[in-house]
Structure 1
């Protein structure tokens, strides 16, 4: 495998990172909304979020990519391939991150909210200033773990023809007829991205467990 093929793989790697960042940042923004509405006392706000989470956690990411790529044009949204994939990844991430953060919000001791209520803080201030900062710390290891899964999940974009790292590896392999070498390099690149994140998530979890034991 020469410089040209390696450069092509690195271009695919950049697209993988781009899709991961877009999906994760979008998932964070929408996931916060999902989490907050999910714990709302109003069923009109809570039930739609339960359905949203159920749909995106209960269906394969591959199907969600197909729906976004082929379904959005039928609704008049003629997005390029990377945008359609980004929409699917964002929706997928928002459901999982929203559920992670919902659990973290509900794990914050109720005494915190009661103390904030006794101080006369309004509902939005209790959530933003008291509950959410504590929930963020509780959810950080699981959030990092989901980031690793999302990064690996971008490989499914190859199914709709988008050239990210896995698709680039397939193209190079078909050109030079060395699949073991090419996908060994592709696997090493994925490992170089995912392994440090996994270690970070594990250390965060251990640190939180040690803090809770004190």
Structure 2
């Protein structure tokens, strides 16, 4: 067993590196998409609200694997090429962005309406009010559920192995296919995911406790 761990660990760590790159890029992409969709959902533009609603309902109502498959194979169907990393980042960003948009929308709507009115009285434009007054308060409100969604995204990266990307789960599957010992190998895979996710989860708990004490 010790020999299996020693021989498997370099490949799993290589896969972990890919998972981290994929996670960081997808977190950035999904956050931007989610914030944009939330802004449209809370705007006074009927077309923008409907488009944002269609986006969130469509991807929240379908499996992430379907999104990944559609992007990777759909792009090829139309005669274009996309590499696995780009497909994984784009698919996870679009899918998770639909969930993150609801987190941001709830946060924006949780800011008291009086904040807008005070900002207008002070002479701030709508853009200035949102950027300087509403968004900072929204960030504090949404941070715990947003981090929880990021944790979900990190775990969803394992699904990208289904389109052949050599991330952590794919490397674990390759080792099992070659030498067996699924309990040990998948146990190592789970441990590496735990090492990533647990500190983030603890930070969220600490953040919530700190806010409770301060309030």
In which range does the TM-score fall when normalised by the shorter chain? over 0.9
Match of 2:175?
Answer: 172
CA distance in 2, matches of 1:109, 1:77: 47
Matched, 1:138 2:131: no
The structure 1 residue matched to 2:70, chosen from 53, 64, 67, is 67
Match of 1:208?
Answer: 211
Q: Deviations over 1:74-114 (max 9, x none)?
A: 23331011111111011112211111111100000111111
By how many angstroms is 1:61 displaced? 0.7
CA distance in 1, matches of 2:92, 2:180: 32
Match of 1:112?
Answer: 115
Question: What is the aligned-residue RMSD (CA, Å)?
Answer: 1.3
By how many angstroms is 1:30 displaced? 1.9
The structure 2 residue matched to 1:154, chosen from 154, 157, 166, is 157
The structure 2 residue matched to 1:7, chosen from 10, 35, 46, is 10
By how many angstroms is 1:206 displaced? 2.6
CA distance in 2, matches of 1:142, 1:206: 14
By how many angstroms is 1:157 displaced? 0.6
SS at 1:59 equivalent: coil
CA distance in 1, matches of 2:109, 2:78: 37
Comparing 188-197 and 91-100, the one that deviates more? 91-100
Mark the runs of 5 or more structure 1 residues left unpaired by the alignment. Answer: none
By how many angstroms is 1:2 displaced? 5.2
Q: How many residues align?
A: 212
Aligned CA distance change for structure 1 residues 77 and 207 (closer, same or farther; 3 Å):
farther
Moved over 4 A (4+): none
CA distance in 2, matches of 1:156, 1:91: 15
Match of 2:47?
Answer: 44
SS at 2:107 equivalent: helix
Mark the runs of 5 or more structure 2 residues left unpaired by the alignment. Answer: none
Matched, 1:199 2:202: yes
CA distance in 1, matches of 2:28, 2:201: 19
CA distance in 2, matches of 1:96, 1:130: 24
